Amino acid sequence: MSFEQDYPGLQQAQRKRPLLRVLIVFGVALLYALFCRLIFGWKELYEFFPIVSISFLTLVPMAFGGLTTFLGYRFGGPSAYWIYVAPMLVALLGFIGSFLVHLEALLCLVVAAPIMLPMAMIGGRIMAWLLYHRSTRLYVSVIVLLPFAVAPIEARWKAPPELVSIEDSIHILASPSDIWAEIASVRTIAREEVPFRWIYLLDFPRPIAATLDREGVGGQRRATFERDVSFFETVTDWEPERTIAFTIKADPEFIPHTAFDQHIIVGGRFYDVLDGRYVIRREGDGCRLLLTSTHRLSTRFNAYAGWWSRLVMNQIQSSILTVIKNRAELRAAQGARG
C-alpha cells in the first residue's frame, strides 16, 4: 500500500490551512532537534552523548531531516520540497535560534553547517525512499532513536590526540633589528591596526598586546586578546634578531566563557595551542618573518577539525604578522629619516 493510500483524505487536507501544516511540521522537527541538543550538551550525560562527536554532527541532522520529510508527507503530501528543502530549512532555523539564545557561538555553527545541512537533506531523502517502498511509522521511530543508540557506542572509542603545525609568513621591508623590536614584546595594538579578517566578523577576540618580563630563555610573556583573554608564555629559545620561541599555557578557568564557545575553548578538552615561534630571515631588500604554532586536536573527526584549525589560525597569525610588518616598516622609515 502506498503512503498516499494510507491517508485517503490527504489531497483535500493539502488544500486546507497550508501555513498551519508547515508550522506543525517545522515545530515538531525543531523541538526534536532542540531535545537532541540539550541531551548531547548535558554535562552529566557527556560520557554517553558527547556533543563533539560524529553521531551528533551526522545522525542528529539526518534524524530531524527524516522526521521533517515524514511529517511533511503526512500533512502536505509527497513533494521534492519536503525531501530537499524543508529539512535544510529546519537546520537553518535551528542554527539561527541556537545563536540568538546563545546556545551556540557563531563560529561553531559555521564549522558545523557544511556537515549538518547536507546530512539533514540526506535524512529527508532516505525517509522518502523508505516511504515510497512502504508506509510505516516504524521508519520514523528508528531514525529518531538512531543518534541515541549510536552515540554511546561511539563514546567508547577513545581517539588519540593529533598535533598540527601551522606556519604563516610575510615579507617586511625592514632590518632584523627593527622587526625584533616589534616581536619580542608587542605594545598595545589599536583596534584599527588589526587588518580585516573574516574570523573577526564571527566575534573572535582580536589581539591586544604581548608583554615580556625579562629578556632571554625563561622570560615570561603574556599575550592578551579582547574580552580579557590571556595566554601565558615561557620563552624556550632566544636569539636576538633571529628567533624567539615559547610554550603557551592557556588556563580554561582564566579565559572567560563568553570569549570562546565551550566546545572550542583553548586549553579545553578538544583543542589547545601548545607553542609558538617567530623566525627572521634575510630576504631580498628586507626580511621574511615566519610565525609557526603547534596545536592539539582531540576530536573524533580530527581531519575535519584540523582543516578548520588551519583556516582559523592562518587568519589570526596573518593578522598579527601584518601588524608587525606595518610597525617594523614604519620604524625603519623613521630610522632612515632620523
Q: What is the pTM of this model?
A: 0.82
DSSP assignment of 92-113 equals HHHHHHHHHTTSS-HHHHHHHH
3-state secondary structure of 5: helix
In the prediction, which pLDDT does 7 show?
A: 44
DSSP assignment of 113-174 equals HHHHHHHHHHHHHHHHHHHHH---HHHHHHHHHHHHHHHHHHHT--PPPEEEEEEEEEEESS
Domain ranges in the chain?
3-155, 162-337
- Non-local CB neighbours of 186 within 8 Å, separated by 6+ positions: 207, 209, 210, 211, 223, 323, 324
How many CB atoms lie under 10 A from the CB of residue 56? 23
Per-residue pLDDT tens digits for 88-124: 999 999 999 999 998 888 888 999 999 999 999 999 9
> What does the pLDDT average to over 172-184?
95
H/E element holding 84?
none
Contact call for residues 149 and 49 (beta carbons, < 8 A): no
Contact call for residues 147 and 45 (beta carbons, < 8 A): no
Higher pLDDT pick, 43 / 266: 43
Please check the confidence at residue 9 and state whether its pLDDT lies above 50. Answer: no
DSSP label of 286: E
3-state secondary structure of 226: coil
Per-residue pLDDT tens digits for 199-216: 898 888 899 999 999 999
How many helices and strands (H and E) does the chain possess?
Answer: 12, 7
H/E element holding 65?
helix 60-76
Burial of residue 110, with CB atoms counted within 10 A of its CB: 0-12 exposed, 13-18 middle, 19 or more buried: middle
DSSP assignment of 9-52 equals THHHHHTS-HHHHHHHHHHHHHHHHHHHHHHHT-GGGTTTS-SS
3-state secondary structure of 302: helix
Report how far residue 94's alpha carbon sits from residue 34's, in angstroms, rounded to the nearest whole number. Answer: 8
Per-residue pLDDT tens digits for 293-308: 999 998 888 889 889 9
In the prediction, which pLDDT does 255 show?
A: 53
Per-residue pLDDT tens digits for 64-73: 999 999 999 9
Please check the confidence at residue 267 and state whether its pLDDT lies above 90. Answer: no
Lowest mean pLDDT among 22-31, 78-87, 96-105: 96-105
Q: Considering only the top CATH level, what class is 162-337? A: alpha beta
Report how far residue 156's alpha carbon sits from residue 153's, in angstroms, rounded to the nearest whole number. Answer: 6
How many CB atoms lie under 10 A from the CB of residue 139? 18
